[in-house]
Structure 1
Amino acid sequence: MTATPMPRSLQDLAEPEPTAGRTDRSRTPTRRAVLGALGGMAVAAATVATPTTAQAAVTRRIAESFWRPATMGAGTGSGTALGAAGVRIAQPTGRFDYRDPHRNAGTVTYETATWDSPVVTPGFAWTELIASWNAETPPGTWVQILVRGIDALGTATAWLVLGRWAAADVSGGAAITRASLDGQRTAGAAVSTDTLVTGAAAAYRSWQLRVVLLRAAGTTATPVVRLAGAVATAVPASGSTAEATSRFGGTVTTLAVPTYSQEVHSGHYTAWGGGGEAWCSATTTAMILDYWGAGPTPAEKAWVSPATDAQVDVAARMVYDAEYGGTGNWPFNTAYAGTRATAGVPLEGFVTRLADLAAAESYLSAGVPLGVSLSFSADQLTGAGYGTGGHLMVLVGFDGAGNPVVNDPASHLIADNARVRMTYQRGQFERAWAESGRTAYVIRPSTTTAAPPTPSGARVPISPGSRSVPRRRG
Structure 2
Amino acid sequence: MSSAAQPSRPATGPAADRPTRRSVLTAAVAVAAVTAGAVPAVAAGAADAGDPADTGEPGPGPAVHRVPAPTAEYRSWTTHADWTSGTARGTLVTAGDRPGLTLGTPLGTADLTDPHTGTTATWEYATWTAPVHRLGVPATELVPSWNAETPAGTWLQAELRGTYTDGTDTPWYVMGRWAAGDQDIRRASVDGQSDGRSTVWTDTLAVDDAASGLRVAAYRLRLTLYRRPGSGATPTVWRVGAMGSDVPDRFTVPATVPGAARELAVPRYSQEIHVGQYPEYDNGGEAWCSPTSTQMIAEYWGGRLTPEQLAWVDPDFADPQICHAARYTYDHEYAGCGNWPFGVAYAAAFAGLQGVVTRLPSLTAAERLIAAGIPLITSQSFVKGELTGAGYGTAGHLMTVIGFTPDGDVIANDPAAPSNAEVRRVYRRREFENVWLRTKRLDASGRTLSGSGGVCYLLFPARPTAAQCTALAAVGVR
TM-score (norm 2): 0.81
- Partner of residue 274, structure 1: 283
Identical positions, percent: 43
The CA deviation string for residues 331-351 of structure 1, in whole angstroms up to 9 with x for no partner, is 11110111102xxxx210211
Distance in 2 separating the partners of 1:391 and 1:360: 18
Distance in 2 separating the partners of 1:259 and 1:321: 25
Query: Structure 2: which amino acid aligns with 1:228?
Result: V
- Partner of residue 321, structure 1: 331
Distance in 2 separating the partners of 1:195 and 1:48: 19
- Partner of residue 290, structure 1: 299
Distance in 1 separating the partners of 2:401 and 2:12: 26
How far 1:387 sits from its partner (Å)?
0.6
| Cα distance change, pair 450–299 in 1 and its aligned pair in 2 (3 A) | farther
The answer to whether 1:164 aligns with 2:177 is yes
- Partner of residue 212, structure 1: 224
Structure 2 unaligned segments of length 5 or more: list them: 1-5, 41-52, 57-65, 438-450
User: 2:293·2:399 contact (CA, 8 Å) conserved in 1?
Assistant: yes
How far 1:285 sits from its partner (Å)?
0.7
The answer to whether 1:78 aligns with 2:94 is no
Q: 1:97 aligns with which of 104, 108, 111?
A: 111
How far 1:295 sits from its partner (Å)?
2.2
User: 1:73·1:82 contact (CA, 8 Å) conserved in 2?
Assistant: yes
User: 1:374·1:433 contact (CA, 8 Å) conserved in 2?
Assistant: yes
How far 1:154 sits from its partner (Å)?
3.3
Query: Structure 1: which amino acid aligns with 2:341?
Result: P
| Cα distance change, pair 223–376 in 1 and its aligned pair in 2 (3 A) | same
Q: 2:127 aligns with which of 114, 122, 144?
A: 114
| Cα distance change, pair 42–189 in 1 and its aligned pair in 2 (3 A) | farther
| Cα distance change, pair 37–108 in 1 and its aligned pair in 2 (3 A) | farther
Distance in 1 separating the partners of 2:24 and 2:354: 32
Distance in 2 separating the partners of 1:54 and 1:265: 42
Q: 2:453 aligns with which of 425, 430, 437?
A: 437
- How many pairs does the alignment contain? 421
| Cα distance change, pair 150–455 in 1 and its aligned pair in 2 (3 A) | farther
Q: 1:32 aligns with which of 16, 21, 30?
A: 21
The CA deviation string for residues 156-187 of structure 1, in whole angstroms up to 9 with x for no partner, is 110111100001112xxxx2101111221114
Distance in 1 separating the partners of 2:76 and 2:242: 6
The CA deviation string for residues 264-320 of structure 1, in whole angstroms up to 9 with x for no partner, is 111111100011111000100111111112121222223222241111111111111
| Cα distance change, pair 258–216 in 1 and its aligned pair in 2 (3 A) | same
Distance in 2 separating the partners of 1:301 and 1:316: 12
Instruction: Please show how residues 40-439 of structure 1 align to structure 2 within 5 Å.
Output: 43-44=32-33, 48=38, 61-70=71-80, 71-84=82-95, 85-105=99-119, 107-170=120-183, 175-198=184-207, 199-200=209-210, 201=212, 202-237=214-249, 240=251, 242-250=252-260, 252-305=261-314, 306-341=316-351, 346-411=352-417, 414=418, 416-434=419-437, 435-439=451-455
Runs of 4+ in 1 over 3 A off after TM superposition: 24-31, 33-43, 45-50, 52-55, 57-60, 453-457
User: 1:256·1:291 contact (CA, 8 Å) conserved in 2?
Assistant: yes
Moved more, 313-322 or 114-123: 114-123
- Partner of residue 3, structure 2: none
The CA deviation string for residues 365-396 of structure 1, in whole angstroms up to 9 with x for no partner, is 11111111111111211110001111010100
How far 1:91 sits from its partner (Å)?
1.4
Distance in 2 separating the partners of 1:27 and 1:397: 22
Structure 1 unaligned segments of length 5 or more: list them: 1-18, 458-474
The CA deviation string for residues 217-239 of structure 1, in whole angstroms up to 9 with x for no partner, is 343221111110011110224x5
Q: Name the SS of the counterpart of 1:122 in structure 2.
A: strand
User: 2:365·2:475 contact (CA, 8 Å) conserved in 1?
Assistant: no
| Cα distance change, pair 400–41 in 1 and its aligned pair in 2 (3 A) | closer
The two structures, once aligned, show a CA RMSD in angstroms of: 3.0
The CA deviation string for residues 12-49 of structure 1, in whole angstroms up to 9 with x for no partner, is xxxxxxx9x99x99974964269789999964157546
Distance in 2 separating the partners of 1:37 and 1:445: 31
